[in-house]
Amino acid sequence: MNEARENILGRLRANRPHAAPTPLVYQKTLGWDREQCIASFTERMQAVRGEVHRVARNHWVDWINTEIAARGLTRGLIGRGATARQFAEGASETFELTRYERHIEEWKDTLFHQIDFSVTGTLGGLAESGSLVLWPDADEPRLMSLVPPLHIALLEADRLFENFAQLIEKEDWTAGMPTNALLISGPSKTADIEQTLAYGIHGPKALITLDRKSVV
């Protein structure tokens, strides 16, 4: 049996082409300015039913207070970092906020059935693909962007990279890539059932990106 196997492998090796492998070529930068990056990110995110709203850096809480409350959503999930503190301090009394600070098994029913939306920060965004980049940690666990029906993500305008290659280079990920980086390109969607595209089956049905401008 071993001899037959070696004979087969030997013939395969003998017939293997010897052409040199094609080197990987990728474009680190696209030469886009900030407005081009914002336009590309917005177009691609909206193409997959994600929402993008440009707000002044100090007015994002007011935007949520007005727009999300108008949609009849009141039960919010926040983490424990700076984003959570800022939102909690200025959030409307209409909202009932839950802080993610316990082990999932202690409040699983609340997380899956009694939360309308979550608010998280982001590490940045990718203009070429219209993707958000998150780096979940203990202050903002991954489930915050995975479970609630609506995920609201804050993106700083100056943290929008042209593409993934530029992000890796500028953040020096070659020296230490994060172990839990998360790329999100629109709401959760699947076409597993009869090839019909459905949203919200495996995650949030809606995604809102608040692009925070530094100048009002």
Q: Where are the domains of the chain?
A: 32-213
| 30-86: pLDDT as tens digits | 889 999 999 999 999 999 999 999 999 889 999 999 999 999 999 999 999 999 999
How many residues does this entry show for the chain?
A: 216
Phi, psi dihedral angles at 22 (to 5 degrees): -75, 125
100-115 pLDDT tens trace = 999 999 999 999 999 9
32-213 has which CATH code?
A: 3.40.50.10420
Supply the pTM of this predicted model: 0.83
Structure tokens at 78: 């926040």
Q: Decide: 87 and 61 in contact? Cβ < 8 Å.
A: yes
